[in-house]
Amino acid sequence: MEKKKTGRAGLFLEGLRDGVPIGLGYLAVAFSLGIMAKKVGLSAFQGFFVSFLCNASAGEYAGFTQIAADATYFEMALSMLVANARYLLMSAALSQRLDPAMPFRHRFLIAYDVTDELFGINIARPGYLAPAYTYGAMIVALAGWSTGTMFGVIAGSLLPVRAVSAFSVALYGMFIAVIVPPARKEKKIGGIVAVSFLCSYLASVLPGVKEIAEGTRIIILTVVLASLAAILFPRKAEDTEPGVPETEAAV
């Protein structure tokens, strides 16, 4: 019993460690989100609370824009659904990595905070998803995102936009750190990543396609490219068999 407890504690600390760059990146990016929140009339507490409940930049920006436009609740809900729809795909992918015996409480809490970065570090780990690891990363990420929004509201428009943008570069570096190791290990993954970059760029400049909302473009590209990759390069059964070490945190 003591060994299992130690294992969960170790995974939790690993999550805290891996969540630090995510939290720092979120802290910087959320400053601009907080400035937007202040412009639509939200207080520092309201900004903190909104970000705590909705850890998604595109979704929050969509919501704040609708508030500024005096939109209806339905219009706000619809715009946030479209902006955040890609998380449905990420959640579906993560669900395939859950231990069938994992209690509902863990599934519920993990689903509460699925973001691009948290998805990346979780899906890159071998074996079943360990709730303790995810919770460690989530705590740091949520703290950075919520407090960053709150500080942005307090600071208002006093901070130079270029300073805020400079800090956000950390997130791009983090994405590179997530995709480079598996791409170096398997050339097929590296090729898929390169094709994804190219298709994403073309979708942002081609007439008729670039007019589509960015969130919708991401969904379309994800479904199409992931489907083609699954058809052209199917994984063998032994490659997808969950490992044993991660399962001890699922109880």
pLDDT exceeds cutoff 50 at 218: yes
- Read off the pLDDT of residues 147-205 as tens digits, 9 standing for 90 and up: 999 998 888 656 666 665 555 565 566 567 667 777 888 888 888 889 988 998 998 89
Q: Contact, 127 vs 243, CB < 8 A?
A: yes
Q: Considering the chain, what is the average pLDDT of its residues?
A: 80
pLDDT exceeds cutoff 60 at 137: yes
Q: State how far the Cα of 105 lies from the Cα of 9, in Å rounded to an integer.
A: 18
pLDDT exceeds cutoff 80 at 58: no
The per-residue pLDDT for 179 is: 75
Residue 52: pLDDT band by 50, 70, 90 thresholds? Answer: very high
Most confident of 1-10, 26-35, 39-48, 156-165: 39-48
pLDDT exceeds cutoff 90 at 32: no
Residue span of the structural domain in which 47 resides: 2-249
Please give the full DSSP string across 108-135, using - where no structure is assigned: HHHHHT--HHHHHHHHTSSSS--HHHHH
pTM over 0.75: no
The per-residue pLDDT for 187 is: 84
Please give the share of the chain, as a percent, with pLDDT higher than 70. 80
Structural domains of the chain, count: 1
pLDDT exceeds cutoff 90 at 235: no
The per-residue pLDDT for 3 is: 44
pLDDT exceeds cutoff 60 at 62: yes
